[in-house]
């Protein structure tokens, strides 16, 4: 026990001797850590500020948007987060898929609505819609935008999520449908 105390004192003395004259580095006042979470009560009061129109539209339509700002992930009110996570991870078996490459937006919309109706008749729970990334479109991804809008508004669609990169990434959606 006495040896350990003597050794620690000697180590500390040697360390201090080695560090003599060393000036500590100046650290920046900010860190690279995440922004602190805003408490729920504060979020509620902030919701009544300039962005109230978006909040009111969500309440009126009964829709929520989860995840990203580009609309690649969506769930309606009442769909649990756990269900959304399973959809994102690809845990639901894909019953059918629709490839809309090379379609116009009008044709694509008509075919998409028919596809959803057909999947409902066949009691398919989850489908994949491949709309493409729109990389060659002059004014952005028209089919992608139309597909997301139609799915958001469709009464039989509970949620949708962008596929994994190996399954099409941002050019395809896994869509969860209501069961009969």
Tens digit of each residue's pLDDT (9 = 90 or more) over 95-144: 999 999 888 899 999 999 999 999 999 999 999 999 888 777 777 788 98
**127: alpha, beta or left, given left = phi > 0 and alpha = psi -120 to 50?**
beta
Residue 7 has pLDDT above 80, yes or no: no
13 domain residue, yes or no: no
15 domain residue, yes or no: no
110 domain residue, yes or no: yes
Q: Is the pTM of this model over 0.75?
A: no
Q: CATH number for the domain including 78?
A: 3.30.1370.110
154 domain residue, yes or no: yes
85 domain residue, yes or no: yes
Per the structure, the complete domain to which residue 97 belongs is given by: 53-177
Burial of residue 27 (number of CB atoms within 10 Å: 0-12, 13-18, 19+): exposed
122 domain residue, yes or no: yes
Into how many domains does the chain fold? 1
17 domain residue, yes or no: no
Tens digit of each residue's pLDDT (9 = 90 or more) over 146-179: 999 999 999 999 999 999 888 888 889 999 999 8
Instruction: Give CA–CA dist 84/82, Å, rounded.
Output: 5
Instruction: Give CA–CA dist 122/118, Å, rounded.
Output: 6
173 domain residue, yes or no: yes
Instruction: Give CA–CA dist 101/91, Å, rounded.
Output: 25
């Amino acid at each position: 026990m006495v040896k350990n105390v003597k050794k620690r004192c000697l180590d500390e003395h040697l360390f201090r001797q080695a560090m003599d004259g060393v000036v500590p580095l100046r650290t920046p006042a900010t860190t690279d850590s995440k922004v602190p979470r805003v408490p729920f009560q504060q979020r509620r009061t902030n919701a009544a500020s300039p962005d109230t129109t978006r909040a009111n539209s969500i309440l009126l339509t009964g829709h929520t948007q989860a995840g990203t700002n580009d609309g690649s992930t969506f769930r309606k009110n009442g769909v649990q987060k756990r269900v959304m996570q399973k959809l994102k991870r690809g845990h639901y078996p894909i019953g059918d898929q629709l490839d809309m490459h090379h379609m116009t937006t009008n044709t694509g919309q008509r075919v998409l609505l028919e596809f959803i109706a057909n999947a409902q008749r066949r009691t398919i729970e989850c489908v994949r819609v491949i709309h493409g990334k729109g990389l060659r479109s002059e004014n952005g991804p028209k089919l992608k935008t139309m597909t997301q809008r139609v799915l958001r508004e469709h009464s039989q669609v509970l949620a949708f999520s962008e596929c994994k990169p190996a399954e099409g990434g941002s050019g395809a959606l896994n869509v969860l449908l209501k069961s009969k």
